[in-house]
Amino acid sequence: MNKRIRIGVDVGGTFTDFVLVDEERDLIYTGKRLTTPDDPSAAILDGTARLLTEAGTEPAQVHSIVHGTTLVTNTIIERNGAKIGLITTKGVRDTLEMGKEIRYDLYDLFLEAPPTLVPRHLRREVAERVAPDGEILLDFDADAFRATALDLIETEKVEAIAVCFMHAYRNPDHERQAKAILMEEFDATPFTISSDVAPEIREFERTSTACANAYVQPRMQSYLQRLETELQAQGHSGALYVMLSGGGITTVQSAREFPIRLIESGPAAGAMAASYYSTLTDTENLISFDMGGTTAKMCLIDGGQPDRKHDFEAGRVRRFQKGSGLPLKVSVVDMIEIGAGGGSLANVDNMGLLKVGPRSAGSAPGPVCYGLGGTDPAVTDADLYLGYLNPDYFLGGEMRLDMATVEQAIEEKIAKPLGLSTLDAAIGIHNIVNENMAAATRMHLAEKGRDPRRYQMIAFGGAGPVHAYGLAQILKLKRLIVPLGAGVTSALGFLVAAPAIDYVRSYVSRLEQLDWGHLNTLFKEMEEEAKGLLVDAGAQPEEITLTRTADMRHIGQGFEIAVPVPEGELTPGLLPGIREAFFQSYHRLFERTVRDVSIESMSWRLAASAPVPNIKLAFGGQSSETGEALKGTRQVYFPETGFAACDVYDRYALHPGDSFTGPAVVEERESTTVIGPGGSVTVDPYRNLICALP
């Protein structure tokens, strides 16, 4: 593989993180800038330019930039996307509001339903009908469709159109005719065809996914176009790629067409970085703990790979209540995400209880200590007051933190209303956010039937290493890994993730009644599409790996499980092996086997990927000011000791083989690692901090 210079950019709610990998010199450079929420590209351009200067590299030398963004999920959460119209089969215009006809909270008399993205007057019908087996029962009325689209665009002034016809997952012919009309006559208006974005069974979910994609299309298309143009104006001639929610990397063209697939692109990067370190450190089972300025994400890494799922619920009305959001048929890394970050705000509620999050100060105005106008104390303010952060070395000294204002804010907003000392209020903020994250992690482990004693933790993100030791103690974990450059590890995840894509086709049938010719045709179509996209993303055809699975269930069940499917041409002779693979997968999940009930397939999936880039962890651009690992001591609070003198280490002066014991604080430019009393730390060959807890 040719040696190249690549940049990863992670746009978060508070900070935008950067990692530049120079494969020629085997060096990694890192950077961090406050996110510019009104125009995220401003921070990207500024940070990229600075990173290139530090690395002594010209923009034209950069092979590619891989980008992840929260713009899609923010658009859906804030409900500020495009005005869209939906065109569907006559008689089913109310699918979005009918949903599953299930109340997500049965006993709430004032239940707030998830708002639909398309009001009823913008949901239109046309005559056409396809049967569940794909047979055309009523021809598509092209003239009526053309008139309906024209009225939505010219009279209603919609900015995008979604098309979702009944059973189009089984036979997309009518939707393809509609697509041809939109391309030929209304090409200036973005549109989404359900059989392109989510060719899966279940009408409500497919319609919801198509509408959500159309809802974010205009904004994402404009954003990506602007970013590409501005990067080119800076002198960048390399490609711009985008991370998918499932952890793969795709082209900008694909991202423009299917932006809903980016809804979890930023968090997915952290999971891919954790997977990389799992392999690097030969640690099979890891809890990935990524705590930034706005949220904390926990993901389980097993055998070097994160769990994935093929459905996601966005913009929940009630944060942890399943069914209160928009169901989406997209592949995502399976993780739990809560409003617990460095910018999470503390407040005293109406019952006189201390609460932390989910509201965040973000980058504007940010926590009180930033001095940018914030008035409510945040987690970062409490961490500063407790001595975990150095007010003179935040972002390597570029951003000085204001301790006096923090003390005043905690006292006035938290301590006095609760009748506490300022110290106890700060301790309360720190402990509550740790307990919130521990509760979420326990819930995630329990839901997946995993034993926490099998796991170790890897911590990263700007705030992750500050809280990781305390979180690991609560979870009773015995080993903690903190990588060098932990504050920007998510951005590194963009560069260690393989170009990858997932495809799916629904084909419902009992196994003994499968049409093997039709099934082989489905896989051939998916393979051709996948190879074409990955080659466009820079992969070599001979390097692409294809993995097949199917969603199957016993007849009468309401859920499916993933079952491996053999490569090559599928024939009736493979049926016993496929059936046995189902029994093995079922037993692994439920520890039982039911052999006398028929099995049916629901959907068939193809995962395609190229090789993972080989990156050596030789960090450059940061050096120790003195060359001495021990910088000095400062007063730091620990539950076991209260405020006590604590050793402070320079992260960049620690080398493989070095070791020390807690209590200790390790400072680097983008993050700070806190080690409690009794912890012992060694530096491994890759300069990761490996901490053994007592």
Domain positions in the chain are 5-75+222-262, 79-216, 344-431, 500-609, 630-692
- Per the document, the length of the chain is 694
The answer on pLDDT for 625 being more than 70 is no
**Are 331 and 500 contacting, i.e. CB atoms less than 8 angstroms apart?**
no
Q: What is the CATH number of domain 79-216?
A: 3.40.50
Encoding tokens for residue 334?
Answer: 């399976």
Beta bridge partners of 191: 161
What pLDDT, on a 0 to 100 scale, did the predictor assign at position 100? 82
The arithmetic mean of pLDDT across residues 557-562, rounded, is: 88
CA atoms of 307 and 478, how far apart (whole Å):
23
Pairing of strands 659-661, 689-692: unpaired
pLDDT tens-digit map of 400-446: 888 999 999 999 999 999 999 999 999 999 999 999 999 999 988 98
10 Å Cβ neighbour count for 366? 23
pLDDT tens-digit map of 268-307: 899 999 999 998 899 989 999 999 888 889 999 998 889 8
Could you tell me the pLDDT band of residue 611, with boundaries at 50, 70 and 90? Answer: confident
pLDDT tens-digit map of 632-686: 999 999 998 999 999 999 999 999 999 999 899 999 988 999 999 999 999 999 8
The arithmetic mean of pLDDT across residues 609-635, rounded, is: 76
Spatial CA neighbour of 146 closest among 180, 197, 188: 180
- Give the distance, in angstroms, between the CA of residue 668 and the centroid of all CA atoms in the same chain: 25
Beta bridge partners of 16: 11, 33
In angstroms, the Cα distances linking 395 to 256, 389, 430 are 34, 11, 21
CA atoms of 518 and 540, how far apart (whole Å):
28
pLDDT tens-digit map of 509-541: 999 999 999 999 999 999 999 998 888 877 888
What pLDDT, on a 0 to 100 scale, did the predictor assign at position 626? 64
CA atoms of 574 and 596, how far apart (whole Å):
19
CA atoms of 220 and 478, how far apart (whole Å):
43
pLDDT tens-digit map of 2-45: 678 889 998 877 788 899 988 878 788 888 888 887 788 888 99
Contacts of 547 (CB under 8 A, 6+ apart): 564, 606, 607, 608, 609
The 3 state secondary structure assigned to 125-194 is EECCEECCCCCEEECCCHHHHHHHHHHHHHHCCCCEEEEECCCCCCCCHHHHHHHHHHHHHCCCCCEEEH
Could you tell me the pLDDT band of residue 260, with boundaries at 50, 70 and 90? Answer: very high
Q: What is the CATH number of domain 5-75+222-262?
A: 3.30.420.40
What pLDDT, on a 0 to 100 scale, did the predictor assign at position 107? 85
CA atoms of 87 and 259, how far apart (whole Å):
20
pLDDT tens-digit map of 571-587: 999 999 999 999 999 99
**Are 610 and 539 contacting, i.e. CB atoms less than 8 angstroms apart?**
yes
The answer on pLDDT for 569 being more than 60 is yes
Of these ranges, 210-214, 486-490, 619-623, the one predicted with the greatest mean pLDDT is: 210-214
CA atoms of 628 and 621, how far apart (whole Å):
17
What's the pTM value of the predicted model, to 2 decimals? Answer: 0.86
The answer on pLDDT for 124 being more than 90 is yes
CA atoms of 260 and 159, how far apart (whole Å):
16
Could you tell me the pLDDT band of residue 108, with boundaries at 50, 70 and 90? Answer: confident
CA atoms of 476 and 451, how far apart (whole Å):
12
What pLDDT, on a 0 to 100 scale, did the predictor assign at position 166? 95
What pLDDT, on a 0 to 100 scale, did the predictor assign at position 213? 96
Spatial CA neighbour of 221 closest among 181, 191, 177, 176: 191
CA atoms of 16 and 240, how far apart (whole Å):
17
What is the 3-state composition of the chain as percent helix, strand, coil, each rounded to the nearest 5?
35, 25, 35
User: Based on the number of CB atoms within 10 Å of its own CB, is 198 exposed (0-12), middle (13-18) or buried (19 or more)?
Assistant: buried
Encoding tokens for residue 583?
Answer: 């029994």
pLDDT tens-digit map of 235-254: 998 889 898 998 888 888 88
Percentage of residues in the chain having pLDDT higher than 70: 98
- Give the distance, in angstroms, between the CA of residue 251 and the centroid of all CA atoms in the same chain: 17
* Residue 443 three-state SS: helix
Could you tell me the pLDDT band of residue 603, with boundaries at 50, 70 and 90? Answer: very high
Could you tell me the pLDDT band of residue 109, with boundaries at 50, 70 and 90? Answer: confident
- Least trusted range by pLDDT, from 193-202, 318-327, 570-579: 318-327
Provide the residue type at 158 as one letter.
Answer: V
Could you tell me the pLDDT band of residue 320, with boundaries at 50, 70 and 90? Answer: low
